Structure 1
């Protein structure tokens, strides 16, 4: 059995475990056993059937959602290139790699397993994800490379020494690919509530047992009370309900070209407060075009074109910049080339040694002009280049500089080198379609856009301004930030909007600092973005970006367009809003059950419900409303409120907490009143009906309290749901088997009128509470 298959088995087992081995289920099963022990076979059998069916349905839904997400992840998963013994190449999943397989490495790849380098071509790797060392370094033939390293320059061929599952990177990315891992803030909050509800339940159970012993209650009644209180007080079903809402949200996000690689990203998209991105490939199109070629006075245009052609032809660089220059030159030069040094974002330049009778031995370097400024031998040439860069950057253009130095030694560091300008290429690329609208969408939500770019500060500022980014005057360069200490990073980073000429390791530190000021997302596509994407609260990658970046991201834009992100965020807002409504229903039942227990205990009464009564109540107050909430979650309104920055529990818990008090008083009043009447009607049945009426009325008002407004279409849906529930109740109470099964009796007309009057009074109270706890208070 492969370890990939083993991972899936473990995941399915986890899904089964979290649906079956729950505190509520364990107590209910104990209640079933005790009911059989004390001779109440009918109640025990019925309750056992209900809980068993609920577990099967819940597990099936959970596995169904997981399988759907697994299918999406498989279709879009990053592949690696395996070289077969006959020389053919094939793309395979990292999990398919076996020991001794030959793996081809290219720029942007994340090495899938430990391996031995068979051949290299200017290969450089970064091991920051493994060792924490942010700098890249070269690798030679015969050396080992570690799984999780990112190829930052060059390429090569390695022979696998381990499988993917045996590597550290498998453990590192397991959380991203794991359906159950990386819980979102809402999921963590719900688990906290469930845990504390369990503590309260333990105290309540102890009280029920002691009370039963003191007053001499029948053991079966004590056991039924424990079962009913367990089902009522612990909102265990909310854990599954939230996971399913997020899973369905992820499936529908994919239809909007936003692939979520972790389940918690459904919520995280709606929490973004800092949105960091590169300029090229995010704000602008990846496709570049050369606008002009400028040549220094120390070389002819013909010679400059020939030397640049050697660099372009011999280095094997397939970046958009080099492809644009190659297209502009429209020529090939077959001069002899020696050693090559592939371009690296960490080094900011690449190079090639040219050996030619016409030129002699000369080394050509290409990269950012700022990387070469300090090492230009001719001051007039330096001044010319600086003025050229400044004027072109002010127009939003991108500048790539080619320089030369004598000799055949390729410098991996420039200090001490004497350079002269060979040629300067001025390039431009257009804003992506929809970029301005996407930037406007995020800024209207209060999101601070941050541009983290390796480009010239002038170029980055102009492009950001044209895209509609606010505060583009707040700009700083990587060279200035190199002088900062850790305190400076913590205190100053949030002051800036544009970070220009930034090194890859600086991106990671910038994101780390911004996280302290709010939920931070990082959008990127290159290998130099991988570390920052890993560090961010939410990593977002382009589908056609570097495999390492895509693998580490929680969100992938399948059309490579930043403009698709707002649609995913809108859906996330809608999922969050409906999760809040769903959670409020569960919390309302928990608080209502607890307050009712306290009131009746003070008055000297036992809890009036049996476990099957609670099951009936749940169908009408949680189950059917939950289906409508799920429909709302995946069919958003035209306008959805942005998700609040307040913690989940602060937004949600106060409304059901206050609302449950009048509900508990009303149910207690109906129960005590009916119990005191000489006719001797069934008070528990009336309490059940009153509970259902109050629960549904709460749902009607919660839909407006959390969404701010209930549009006409939703009002109609709520009306027909109310009609449907009333019809089911009417029919159900006319079927003897169902009334016997759930332990209720049909109420007389006078009691029905009594319930309607009490429910109407509660509806008035709930209306006032909803006005008070409107969207401004809850959200």
Structure 2
């Protein structure tokens, strides 16, 4: 079962210095985010910046600076994107350093904690349950050392390691302890590249971003033919004045590009990371914010999540006439056999000291798969026996009288362990065979003070909570019940669950809220069963027994005090170990996703009406209604400025699939209404022989602003005082542009007479009423969250 080698002293200080001089160090850089250069390049060199930049250069050649204002807006938006992502990078870099585990390395015979970068070739690294192996090596010492290599090989079963066996970076310890000598460090390690890539700050795949990219891709396809048609049309209309034709063409193309939507999405995600970082929440991948916003089921591991890591011994109950003194001494001896005690063993060690005259011959560390630990102990009278400490319902046969007492205690929310003595050895396939019960060890778990309120938050948000634990089902149900979890009065023993991934398993998992005696593989199967029913599942945990489920869940959330393995596979790490931080993460995700969907309507309404205006202009063979400067004013007052504020507003609506369909369902008809109203107003103004092109354009601008502001007022609902002030401020800004003399001259806007402006205003109001009808129809047609 175990093997032990004489303790080694590790490298000397001089040997370490020699290896450092030769460059034999673990020099893989900590990458929690993209480099500054990558951030700048990704924000500057985009398809849409290239389009807008080209059009800006063209305008600088043919037209006045007023018509090139859109170029400066792009520069400002790009700068905001860079600054916000750099802030997010700094936050992530700082948090990654805080959250980085410190391997225990033996040097000069003493154990010290070092950073991963300080490990050198030939170092002796100590291992304990939950430790992640960060460099390749060869086992030097092993005491029941079991290593999970599933992250590398896909094989879920732990591998028992003996001295001389290889260990690979990327694997982690699930039971036992030992030490290994490093054989490959730095970039030479097997999983170094994977580990670096996995820890990176990413702006990659998510439904939100992929949906936006899909929309933008189609917009790009339409730009070129529209630009060609508009250019030819304006050349024909304007005759030999090619400069005016180009200005009008650019004015038609620029509004079609929703360039700010991409940048605003990046900014919103980055701000979310910064906000969560201030709460000691490390978001290892940005899409995790969106993913958690879509969660409808949260699977919680009781230990370390609902309860704190520490425990206290409540009492020791002797069984079958066993002497309590012997049980106490055996417990103390078992404590000396465990180099890396878990919370239960630590509580026992705090009460029962190591006894004199007891010697450990062989030991087996606790494993969540078998649910017991043990040791072969030589007692003072010369007897040698195997002592086991573990779950009563695992070690005792069904129907044993002690099980009833254990269940009764477990139903009170207490953790109960059975101490037993057996004549069989630890190497026996069934060490519990012939077990003689000695005592029940009753432990009280420390419930997190914030757990109850967090569970109530999930209940209010219609997010189902499932407590999944390896402990006794009654005990888990008692803890969950004390926290007010619905369904806690009907806990289920996972040993009664179907063994295969079947509809019956999914039915059971959906029906119950509390599960006990769950194995690591069952946790994984239960997550998969929920996903098979269309649930978006988040899994929280802190122990190595949670890793498989964390890896398979849509979103994995690890506690900062948990094992390094759980932190490595989770997308979100709660560094301060506060369960109450989780609602903040959910709320932040919902804020980001809901608000981006909200402001996407503003950008895409503009894209639709710009396309319609361009097509109408080409067909009717008239000058394009606007100059680039007019589009800049409209975009700044009805889209750009308000979108930035709306993207930061509170929003608790759960994210739902179908982002593109929902946005287009309103944006397309609203854009058609806006474009038709503006072009109608423009053509009516042109029919008035008493006015010129500036007056006609001003009338069309007035109409389009009224409709666009109406769209903004719809998108801003439900109203709050600041939203009313925002809409009013945008309206006031337009009034100033149309009335202040220098602004009129700068933007070439001036209303003439009464008939045309009044007609334009009435058309705008009529279009607004039509928008209300469309909005109510769309709102009623869409399924409610």
**TM-score, length-scaled by structure 2:** 0.87
Q: Which segments of 5 or more consecutive residues in structure 2 lack a partner in the other structure? A: 1-22
Structure 1 residues 327, 77: closer, same or farther in 2, change over 3 A?
closer
Equivalent residues of 2:365, 2:373 under 8 A apart: yes
Residue aligning to 1:605:
622
1:655 aligns with 2:666: yes
Match of 1:396 in 2: 413
Taking the aligned partners of 1:97 and 1:732, their CA distance within structure 2 comes to 71
Report the 3-state secondary structure (helix = DSSP H, G, I; strand = E; otherwise coil) of the residue aligned with 1:124.
strand
Looking at structure 1, the residues matched to 578 and 33 of structure 2 have their Cα atoms a distance apart, in angstroms, of: 35
Determine the structure 2 residue equivalent to 1:545: 562
- The change in CA–CA distance for 1:353 and 1:55 in structure 2 (over 3 A counts) is same
8 Å contact from structure 2 (residues 290, 589) kept in 1: yes
| C-alpha deviation, 1:171, in angstroms | 4.9
- 2 CA distance for matches of 1:552 and 1:766? 47
1:15 paired with 2:39, answer yes
* Cα distance in structure 2, aligned partners of 1:245 and 1:67: 14
| TM-aligned CA deviation for residue 475 of structure 1 | 4.4
- Residue equivalent to 2:685: 674
Note the alpha carbon deviations across 1:602-637, whole angstroms, 9 max, x for none: 43435434445433432222221133224x43xx3x
* SS of the residue 2:146 aligns to: strand
1:275-310: CA deviations, max 9, x gaps? 101112222233222222122225322222212211
The 1:170–1:447 alpha-carbon spacing in structure 2 relative to 1, beyond 3 Å, is: farther
Contact in 2 for aligned 1:28/1:230 (Cα 8 Å) = no
Say if 2:728 is the partner of 1:719. yes
Contact 2:293 2:586 (8 Å CA) reproduced: yes
Over 3 Å counting, the alpha-carbon distance change for 1:47 and 1:728 in structure 2 is: closer
| Stretch moving more, 424-433 or 481-490 | 481-490
SS in structure 2 of the partner of residue 292 of structure 1: strand
Q: 1:169 to 1:476 in 2, by over 3 A?
A: farther
Residue 530 (1) aligns with residue 547 (2) = yes
Query: 2:714 pairs with 675, 688, 701, which one?
Result: 701
Distance of aligned partners of 1:6 and 1:82 in 2 relative to their CA distance in 1, 3 Å threshold:
closer
3-state secondary structure, aligned to 2:308: coil
Match of 1:130 in 2: 152
Query: Is 1:103 paired with 2:125?
Result: yes
Structure 1: gaps (5+ residues): none
Do the aligned partners of 1:235 and 1:587 also contact (CA within 8 Å) in 2?
A: yes
Which SS does the other structure have where 1:285 is aligned? strand
Q: Quick check: 1:260 aligned with 2:276?
A: no
Q: Which residue of 1 aligns with 2:366?
A: 343
1:228-627 maps to which residues of 2 (within 5 A)?
Answer: 228-297=251-320, 299-329=322-352, 332-358=355-381, 360-374=383-397, 383-406=400-423, 409-411=425-427, 413-414=429-430, 417-472=433-488, 475-481=491-497, 483-485=499-501, 488-489=504-505, 492-516=508-532, 517-605=534-622, 607-627=624-644
Higher mean Cα deviation, 139-148 or 570-579?
Answer: 570-579
Is the contact made by 2:288 and 2:555 (CA closer than 8 Å) also made in structure 1?
yes
Question: Residue 283 of structure 2 contacts residue 289 of structure 2 at CA under 8 Å; is this kept in 1?
Answer: yes
Match among 692, 700, 704 for residue 691 of structure 1: 704
TM-fit CA distance, 1:210: 6.8
- CA-to-partner distance for each residue in 1:573-612, whole Å, 9 max, x for gaps? 3333322222111111112212223333443435434445
Match of 2:52 among 1, 23, 28: 28
Q: Distance in 2 between matches of 1:646 and 1:568?
A: 19
**Contact kept in structure 2, 1:476 and 1:500, CA below 8 Å:** yes
**Separation in structure 1 between the aligned mates of residue 47 and residue 66 of structure 2, nearest angstrom:** 18
Measured on the aligned residues, the alpha-carbon RMSD in Å equals: 3.4
1:177 aligns with 2:188: no
Q: Using the alignment, how far apart are the partners of 1:240 and 1:766 within structure 2?
A: 27
Superposition deviation, residue 317 in structure 1: 3.8
In structure 1, what is the equivalent of residue 142 of structure 2? 120
Which aligned pairs between 1:25-174 and structure 2 lie closer than 5 A?
A: 25-31=49-55, 40=62, 46=68, 50=72, 53-54=75-76, 57-81=79-103, 83=105, 85-86=107-108, 91-94=113-116, 97-163=119-185, 165=187, 167=189, 169-172=191-194
**Greater shift after overlay, 692-701 or 580-589?**
692-701
Cα separation, partners in 2 of 1:149 and 1:575, compared to 1, 3 Å:
same
Kept after mapping to 2: 8 A contact 1:153/1:342: yes
Q: Provide the C-alpha distance between the structure 2 equivalents of 1:8 and 1:92, rounded to a whole number of angstroms.
A: 19
Question: Closer, same or farther in 2 for the Cα pair 1:175/1:676, shift >3 Å?
Answer: farther
Separation in structure 2 between the aligned mates of residue 48 and residue 662 of structure 1, nearest angstrom: 24
